[in-house]
Amino acid sequence: MNFSRSMVLVSSDPESVRRGADEIYALFEKEIAARDMEGEISISRLTDTGRPDAAPIVVIYPEAVVYGPVNAENVKEIVEEHLYKGRVAEHLLAPTRELSGRIGWLKTRKGTLPAEKRIVLRRAGRIDPENIEEYIAEDGYQALAKALTGMKATEVIDVLKESGLQGRGGAGFPTGLKWSFVAGTQSEKKYVVCNADESEPGTFKDRVILEGDPLAIIEAMTIAGYAVGADEGFVYVRGEYKLAQNRLENAVKQAREYGLLGKNIMDTAFSFDIHIHSGAGAYICGEETALLESIEGKRGEPRSRPPYPTTEGLWGKPTLVNNVETLANVPPILLNGGQWYRQFGTPSSPGTKVYTILGNVNFTGLIEVPMGITLREVVNIYGQGMKDGATFKLAQTGGSSGSVIPASLQDTPMDFESFRKAGVSLGSGALLICDENTCVVDLALVLQKFFKFESCGKCTPCRVGTGRIHEILTGIVEGRGTLKDMENLDYLVDSLTRISNCGLGQTASVPINDVLKYFRPELEAHIKLGVCPCGVCPMSAPVKEPAAVA
């Protein structure tokens, strides 16, 4: 999707289609093309408007004007008046008094265009990722030059603090603050580590960044090295990401040739070099202390904290560990300033977020949008509606360890703060959308299979707890569940969350906890009634036959 000044959404629920929505969509394309505005205006389909009486509906952003019912003759006028002359065609507006329910959300976003905004992915797919000259031609290395020649290390950190950038690995820790911790620790040797061990099922945003724009990470790490006083860095890349590894290796090689890595970068006193370290298939290594253990050549088992890596990290030295997407935000922030970054997203979570959209929607793939858009927008606009016209049931944000978001929370703005307030977490950026045919118990079982396999086995609550939850859920889907199981699940969730050593165990309980919280009746139906309401689980326990009448 291009940068668009306007966005046209045409409803495409079955009722709208029956009343000619497809024709209207085609006419919009034609009329917009006739005025050479294709580059400025994007057209998408919108489903699930909940307003069959006003169908077909046409919504135009950023004004959030809702037209309806629209017929083929109106299209030319809407394009002419609204899109070309910028005047709302009042007499074609949908009756506002009746606008309520599911379409009501559109009005609340008036004035903001939830269109894509590419900061992190601005170069991915546009430049040759194996050619440093193309990177440099597209603003590459300007941020580093600005930092090295005109800014003190503390000033670099101040800009990051001002921008409000938060870690994009899932926890949302303020990046500037983390940098200042490492900068403030006295040591002769410090390290910068990029966490590219993206293993959360459903997340592949970092892969796209690494493969599409590897030098952005190399430049950002170099800037980080300057800001915190480190002279060496490691990129820890997932073992499965061979292409990303090759491109990073190549990027490092080219940067060295151009004098952008190594001794006296850009003829200053600053020296910095980067190595690539490949993981080997262990989910736990995405946890930062397990990752450091792994670089040190050990089993990836998390350390006890404190001390945190910022004071005692790789080989005992102060270490800055940042996620790929976090780092990719650094050069543009440095170039354009902290205030520039704050114009995107929400006040508590500025900037953009890269999401992967998956599951039962019509479009699956990758988007980068300002923080604070809602799940409903993601499903209707970017996901182009639920597949086969089904109803949205739940979404899981952030991969296996992410929250299970019920339909009642789908209008919560997606930023760290709003989600925290709603008692759920945003996680790393995977948005798995599930429809009404998805059984939550089955879903929880698949997730738990993953944790049982990936638990590193170091601490007992996680090693035993993930296995026990899996066992109990298996019993429930096979029709052997008892009410005691519910109690046991509550207990296990609580102990996993509170006494596991690291984030894996603490968050393994998140989805199952949400299932217990939002979908308890469905779980109980499996146990008490012996039925799977969605007809997914085998429930093969023998059904008690009523006693035969003699």
Summarize as ranges the residues that interact with other proteins (CB under 8 A).
198-204, 207, 238-242, 246, 275, 277-283, 294-300, 315, 356-360, 364-366, 396, 399-400, 430, 432, 434, 438, 443, 446-447, 450, 453-454, 456
Q: Shortest gap between Cβ of 75 and other proteins (angstroms)?
A: 33
The residues, any chain, with a CB within 8 Å of residue 170's CB and separated by 6 or more, are 200, 323, 398, 401, 425, 426, 427, 428
Q: Shortest gap between Cβ of 391 and other proteins (angstroms)?
A: 16
Name which of 203 and 349 has its Cβ closer to other proteins: 203
Coil, helix or strand for 369?
strand
Name which of 366 and 464 has its Cβ closer to other proteins: 366
Q: Shortest gap between Cβ of 295 and other proteins (angstroms)?
A: 6
Name which of 61 and 451 has its Cβ closer to other proteins: 451
Q: Shortest gap between Cβ of 341 and other proteins (angstroms)?
A: 27
Q: Shortest gap between Cβ of 275 and other proteins (angstroms)?
A: 5
Residue for token digits 């799940």? 375
Q: Shortest gap between Cβ of 214 and other proteins (angstroms)?
A: 16
Name which of 199 and 425 has its Cβ closer to other proteins: 199
CA dihedral (172, 176, 179, 180) positive or negative: negative
Name which of 147 and 282 has its Cβ closer to other proteins: 282
Residue for token digits 């289609």? 17
Strand order in the sheet with 273-278: 273-278, 232-237, 191-196, 319-323
Rounded to whole angstroms, the Cα distance separating 228 from 180 reads 7
Residue 447 structure tokens: 């997730």
Distance (Å) of CA 458 to CA 191, 195, 236, 284, 299: 26, 21, 22, 11, 10
Name which of 113 and 284 has its Cβ closer to other proteins: 284
CA dihedral (292, 293, 298, 301) positive or negative: negative
Asked if 208 and 325 touch (Cβ cutoff 8 Å), the reply is no
Name which of 258 and 363 has its Cβ closer to other proteins: 363
Rounded to whole angstroms, the Cα distance separating 156 from 180 reads 10
The residues, any chain, with a CB within 8 Å of residue 399's CB and separated by 6 or more, are 200, 201, 202, 203, 427, 428, 430, 432
Q: Shortest gap between Cβ of 543 and other proteins (angstroms)?
A: 26
